[in-house]
């Protein structure tokens, strides 16, 4: 387990962000005067915003006073989970752009839809975690601080799906066309991100005597949980060996990625790849939930939140599969959106 990969000097990062922002502003000014561009870039304001966030969160004050600027700032930890999440988004970008191009989605549209889907997937993932653990937060600021608690994968998938639907609707792109291009990136991202969960020590499984069961060190979430329920003593160096459920789900993500990429080559109508993800993940995730032992997962009756959503998604997937099979049978070839420039939904 390695929660923090490296700690960066936050003051130096803030200064670097301001310098880059000024450089981009000067570049844009020169290009605007020479009429090389018609609109100003938003990059400088994002960089200024990042520097201000570092000032407030790591410098200790939202107002740049002299004492704050010359005083020490708290270093910025780079968490393993954040690194793997960022890696999944970057890898997903390149994969989606490649697959979307093959399926006839314009690059500009694919880039914008992916960007907003990624943003709202993170919002959805955090929102579902907060909703299932409301008692753990004292207020709004606590809820938006990502280092306090975590995210729920299904919340991210729901948020990303809704953003994708809206992006496709605005651009007249069939949702199933986009879904078949983006689904492989989603499951690949799941596989990568869950490695971050393993390194961070969250989402651990139940105690197990299996040969591949793993113990987590003193201070980990599993160790703390086992202390509270009396499985180990407070002076124990390790938790009890548990199911590495993070790695189980990572393997599920990589396996589904391989399956969906194979399915793309053999699909007969649009939506098959998307449904391969919905049905595959919706079936396997609830099964992995049976082996989970972390407490912050929420519940709907006897089911965890993810089990409940998984069952609902499988039900939805089967219904959509029946509809698409019927349409494809009545009008063979009419749903092969990747072969044409069709812009209407079935």
Confidence of residue 132 (pLDDT cuts 50, 70, 90): confident
| Of 156 and 135, the one with more pLDDT | 156
Q: What is the pLDDT of residue 346?
A: 40
DSSP codes joined into one string, 216-257: -BTTSHHHHHHHHTTSS-TT-SB---B--HHHHHHHHHHHHH
Per cent of the chain over pLDDT 70 is: 91
Q: Per-residue pLDDT tens for 38-77?
A: 667 778 888 999 999 999 988 888 998 888 888 999 998 8
147: pLDDT strictly greater than 60: no
Supply the pTM of this predicted model. Answer: 0.80
Residues of the chain with pLDDT > 90: what percent?
52
pLDDT at 129 over 70: yes
- pLDDT (tens digit per residue) in 289-340: 999 998 777 777 888 888 998 999 999 999 999 999 999 998 888 888 888 6
Beta bridge partners of 207: 242
Q: Indicate whether 120 pLDDT > 80.
A: yes
pLDDT of residue 344: 44
Asked if residue 256 has pLDDT above 70, the reply is yes
Reported as type and span, the H/E element at residue 311 is helix 305-330
Q: What is the pLDDT of residue 284?
A: 95
pLDDT range class, residue 131, cuts 50, 70, 90: confident
Is the pLDDT at 7 greater than 70, yes or no? yes
- Domain locations in the chain as residue ranges: 4-74, 79-206+243-339
**Is the predicted pLDDT of residue 188 greater than 50, yes or no?**
yes
Residues 6+ apart with CB under 8 A from 75: 7, 8, 9, 10, 58
- Can you give 172-196 as a three-state secondary structure string? CCCHHHHHHHHHHHHHHHHHHHHHH
Largest CA distance in the chain: 74
């Amino acid at each position: 387990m390695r929660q923090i990969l490296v700690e960066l000097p936050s003051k130096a990062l803030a200064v670097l962000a301001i310098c880059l922002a000024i450089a981009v502003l000067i570049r844009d000014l020169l290009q605007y005067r020479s009429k090389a561009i018609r609109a100003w870039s938003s990059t400088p304001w994002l960089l200024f915003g990042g520097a201000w966030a570092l000032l407030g969160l790591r410098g200790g004050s939202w107002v740049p006073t002299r004492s704050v600027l010359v005083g020490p700032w708290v270093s910025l930890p780079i968490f393993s989970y954040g690194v793997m999440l960022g890696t999944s988004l970057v890898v997903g970008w390149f994969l989606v752009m490649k697959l979307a191009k093959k399926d006839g989605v314009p690059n500009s549209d694919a880039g914008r839809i992916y960007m907003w889907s990624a943003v709202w997937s993170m919002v959805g993932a955090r929102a579902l975690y907060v909703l299932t653990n409301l008692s753990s937060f004292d207020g709004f600021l606590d809820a938006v601080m990502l280092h306090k608690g975590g995210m729920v994968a299904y919340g991210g998938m729901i948020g990303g799906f809704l953003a994708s639907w809206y992006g496709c609707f605005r651009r007249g792109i069939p949702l199933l066309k986009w879904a078949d291009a983006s689904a492989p990136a989603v499951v690949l991202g799941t596989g990568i991100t869950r490695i971050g969960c393993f390194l961070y020590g969250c989402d651990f499984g139940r105690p197990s005597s299996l040969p591949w069961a793993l113990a987590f060190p003193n201070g980990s979430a599993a160790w703390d949980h086992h202390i509270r329920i009396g499985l180990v003593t407070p002076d124990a160096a390790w938790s009890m060996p548990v199911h590495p459920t993070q790695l189980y789900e990572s393997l599920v993500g990589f396996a589904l990625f391989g399956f969906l990429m194979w399915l793309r080559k053999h699909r007969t109508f649009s939506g098959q790849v998307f449904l391969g993800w919905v049905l595959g993940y919706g079936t396997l995730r609830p099964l992995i939930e049976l082996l989970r032992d972390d407490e912050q997962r929420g519940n709907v009756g006897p089911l965890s939140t993810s089990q409940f959503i998984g069952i609902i998604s499988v039900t939805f997937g089967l219904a959509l599969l029946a509809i698409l099979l019927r349409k494809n049978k009545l009008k063979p070839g009419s749903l092969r959106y990747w072969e044409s420039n069709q812009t209407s939904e079935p």
